[in-house]
Structure 1
Amino acid sequence: MTPTMSNIATLDDVRYQEHILQGVSRTFALTIPQLPPALREVVGNAYLLCRIVDTVEDDSALTLEQTRELAEMFIEVVSGTVEAETFARALYPLLSEHTIPAEHDLIKHTPSVIRMTHSFNPVQRQALERCIRIMGQGMAAYQESESLSGLENLAEMDRYCYHVAGVVGEMLTELFCDYSPEINQHKPALMQLSVSFGQGLQMTNILKDIWEDRKRGACWLPRDIFLQEGFDLNDLQPGCPERGFHAGLGTLIGIAKTHLQNALAYTCLIPSHEAGVRRFCLWAIGMAVLTLNKINHKRDFITGREVKISRRSVRATVLITSLLASQDWALKKIFAISSRNLPEVQIARS
């Protein structure tokens, strides 16, 4: 399909996307440029769309009704049935100081982001639209039920992770398969592993952000895992010395590790000559494993800063995985060594 003048992104739109990525994500600003040119713009745009949904969900100044209405409106913006300017004018004045300046700027420039979205091919657009629809509806629903009591059980945590990250894994897989017929040959296996890949990254973020989430009245930990260890999440306080809490945390660390093992299996299905796609995946996996190690070593941490990996660790991860990106045996060995101190927990296969 030949794009019309109304959905052709301008050079200014491309430049804005590259610029704002630096402001809203240190990690993705690092990993997205590793992708081949044919994927960079659409994956960068996909991240910005997800970040807009996150902004709607995270700004505490919005009421539940406003959050639901704005999430639904943005879904329609992405699908092309509501003007991006309408959404930006509705949300921008409502944003509070809790939303970082870069996200204020992103919301203000939603029309620029959407012009990029609408310039992609039909397969890419369909993948983006599906992801944002599932993510937007899911996030709004979970915000309405969030509390300090946590999620009911591990199955509910799985569902939450799917709506905020697993569906992103599916979207990326669709984009990778559209880009490469060779990657597309492995699509069934990749799609099966993609949700687990997303969950491994999301669980790592949930564990890292326990205390920041609690400050805004949310807890995404599963109650059943901790109750099995004799601990009630309603009693959770920073610096909690309870062995039951630390044991439950260890179980979740082990589950996240298993999901990241699946993420590595996913990456090894990408043809070895697609070094950029592999680096994009490997850097995320490597940083997640390092973060889990820090959480595991200091289970009594009270702020995310205490378990944040250093820039030196990031550089080492980038260097090692880049050098060995095409060597599956070496990648598996590195994963085994770097995660050897993490708990071993098996997860049920769907």
Structure 2
Amino acid sequence: MASLGAILRHPDDFYPLLKLKMAARNIEKQIPSEPHWGFCYTMLHKVSRSFALVIRQLGPDLRNAVCIFYLVLRALDTVEDDTSIATDVKVPILIDFYRHIYDRDWHFPCGTKDYKVLMDQFHHVSTAFLELEKTYQEAIEDITKRMGAGMAKFICKEVETIDDYDEYCHYVAGLVGLGLSKLFHSSGLEDLAPDSLSNSMGLFLQKTNIIRDYLEDINEIPKSRMFWPRQIWSKYVNKLEDMKYEENSITAVQCLNDMVTNALIHAEDCLKYMSALRDSAIFRFCAIPQIMAIGTLALCYNNIEVFRGVVKMRRGLTAKVIDRTKTMADVYGAFFDFACMLESKVGKNDPNATKTLTRLEAIQKTCRKSGLLSKRKSYILNNENGSTMIIILVIIVSVIFAYFSANRQK
């Protein structure tokens, strides 16, 4: 749970945080009894807590398919991310990974911490995969094959141009969007979305992650991982790693803003995709990460801290998004509010100010045209000066919660 100080600054975060904590505990109690499914859902919770929360709302068959789809691609990603694996070893594994998901005995030691456990005991994932319906298996195999081939291509290729950047993001995330759309369609709950919209759903999330994770990727040992396209960063610095040095702060932030502006291209497609969804659980599953993405972009924009440490939405705001995202009105409201927050940070001297403002205006226009903004719940316009009574209540409830938590452990 968030610190008491954070709750005092944002008292209306408390109830969503409490609900999130209770939901997480309920998930831990609902782990399936079969060893392979138990492993899969336990591992899902460890490698993606927020994803585990939204996936549990899906119907049983679709939930299992999405869980396995996520773990298969997470394992594939673990192979790609491990910079200690020699290229001549890594490339064949990436290309053939879609075959290994049918092998109950296959595993490959790589990664660290929970990801190492996933790879060491991957046979549990394969066993669960083989129990899925054939249509789900075919969709997962197809995307895994295409993604593995794309990852292998970029092991030996730098991200030079914006086209390269879009292609790389398509392989590692756009294909996830296509795969999920196929799984939703196979479940009978949704129409099959156009590939272009599914691709944008993935690219919006992936580009946000690449922007946010600059420092972690550039400091990767034994070798840096570089995903920012040279076509963008070379306008500002001689080397991509130069942006982490204080003397380049001004140009680094300008480059950062250029990257955020590029990511905003996909926002309107994402709104169009989500507006067509019919099933409420699938809708929340898709909408919550997208709201988190535009919120993260708003925090990263014009923020030198991206090059100094980790920039992410506070836990209370994340809990609020998870709690309050129920309808398309909530999505339009969140996108509009975060677009306004981002707009307020655009400086007139930024080289891309006009382009950034144009893209933000397009997002705001789409939200206004929906006619649903009057029904939105605000995520960012908090009661920062919450009344004394609310603060006292928060403190009392926090103490009670801590007291009972401590007693349960005795």
What secondary structure, in the 3-state scheme, does the structure 2 residue paired with 1:221 have?
A: coil
Write the mapping of 1:95-114 to structure 2, written as runs, cut at 5 A.
Answer: 95=110, 99-114=111-126
What secondary structure, in the 3-state scheme, does the structure 1 residue paired with 2:237 have?
A: coil
Q: Deviations over 1:20-68 (max 9, x none)?
A: 1111122322221122223111001000000110111112221001111
Q: Deviations over 1:144-185 (max 9, x none)?
A: 235xxxx2111110000000000000000000011125x22x
Q: Which residue of 2 aligns with 1:180?
A: 188
Write the mapping of 1:230-241 to structure 2, written as runs, cut at 5 A.
Answer: 230-234=236-240, 236-240=242-246, 241=248
Write the mapping of 1:246-261 to structure 2, written as runs, cut at 5 A.
Answer: 246-261=253-268
Matched residues in 1 for 2:309 and 2:57: separation? 27
Further displaced range: 159-168 or 119-128: 119-128
What secondary structure, in the 3-state scheme, does the structure 2 residue paired with 1:301 have?
A: helix
Matched residues in 2 for 1:345 and 1:129: separation? 40
Pick from 190, 196, 206 the counterpart of residue 192 of structure 1: 196
Distance 1:84 1:121, change over 3 A: same
Q: Which residue of 1 aligns with 2:37?
A: 14
Matched residues in 1 for 2:77 and 2:211: separation? 18
Q: What displacement does 1:250 show?
A: 1.2
Matched residues in 1 for 2:335 and 2:113: separation? 37
Letter in 1 for 2:69: A
Letter in 2 for 1:18: Y
Pick from 283, 296, 302 the counterpart of residue 301 of structure 2: 296
Further displaced range: 250-259 or 46-55: 250-259
Q: What displacement does 1:334 show?
A: 2.6
Letter in 2 for 1:249: L
Letter in 1 for 2:124: S
Matched residues in 2 for 1:330 and 1:115: separation? 39
Q: Which residue of 2 aligns with 1:45?
A: 68
Q: What displacement does 1:133 show?
A: 0.7
Pick from 132, 149, 158 the counterpart of residue 137 of structure 1: 149
Does the 8 A contact of 1:211 with 1:238 survive in 2?
yes
What secondary structure, in the 3-state scheme, does the structure 1 residue paired with 2:84 have?
A: coil
Matched residues in 2 for 1:188 and 1:46: separation? 18
Letter in 1 for 2:287: L
Matched residues in 2 for 1:56 and 1:40: separation? 25
Q: Which residue of 2 aligns with 1:36?
A: 59
Q: What displacement does 1:106 show?
A: 0.9
Matched residues in 2 for 1:246 and 1:310: separation? 22
Q: What displacement does 1:285 show?
A: 0.9
Distance 1:158 1:32, change over 3 A: same
Letter in 2 for 1:258: I
Q: Which residue of 1 aligns with 2:335?
A: 335
Matched residues in 2 for 1:15 and 1:278: separation? 26
Write the mapping of 1:36-185 to structure 2, written as runs, cut at 5 A.
Answer: 36-78=59-101, 80=102, 83-85=103-105, 87-88=106-107, 91-92=108-109, 95=110, 99-146=111-158, 151-180=159-188, 183-184=190-191
Query: What TM-score, normalized to structure 2?
Result: 0.71
Q: What displacement does 1:129 show?
A: 0.6
Q: What displacement does 1:309 show?
A: 1.9
Q: What displacement does 1:192 show?
A: 2.4
Distance 1:235 1:213, change over 3 A: closer
Matched residues in 1 for 2:176 and 2:358: separation? 24
Q: Which residue of 1 aligns with 2:5?
A: none
Distance 1:330 1:54, change over 3 A: closer
Letter in 2 for 1:58: D
Does the 8 A contact of 1:36 with 1:277 survive in 2?
no
* Identity value in percent: 26
Letter in 1 for 2:118: L
Query: What TM-score, normalized to structure 1?
Result: 0.82
Distance 1:125 1:301, change over 3 A: same
Distance 1:226 1:317, change over 3 A: same
Distance 1:128 1:334, change over 3 A: same
Letter in 2 for 1:102: D
Further displaced range: 213-222 or 201-210: 213-222
Pick from 259, 262, 267 the counterpart of residue 269 of structure 2: 262
Count of equivalent residues: 312
Letter in 2 for 1:100: T
Q: Which runs of 5+ in 2 are unaligned?
A: 1-31, 343-355, 361-410
Matched residues in 1 for 2:305 and 2:245: separation? 5
Matched residues in 1 for 2:323 and 2:131: separation? 34
What secondary structure, in the 3-state scheme, does the structure 2 residue paired with 1:339 have?
A: helix
Letter in 2 for 1:251: D
Matched residues in 2 for 1:22 and 1:304: separation? 25
Distance 1:235 1:22, change over 3 A: closer
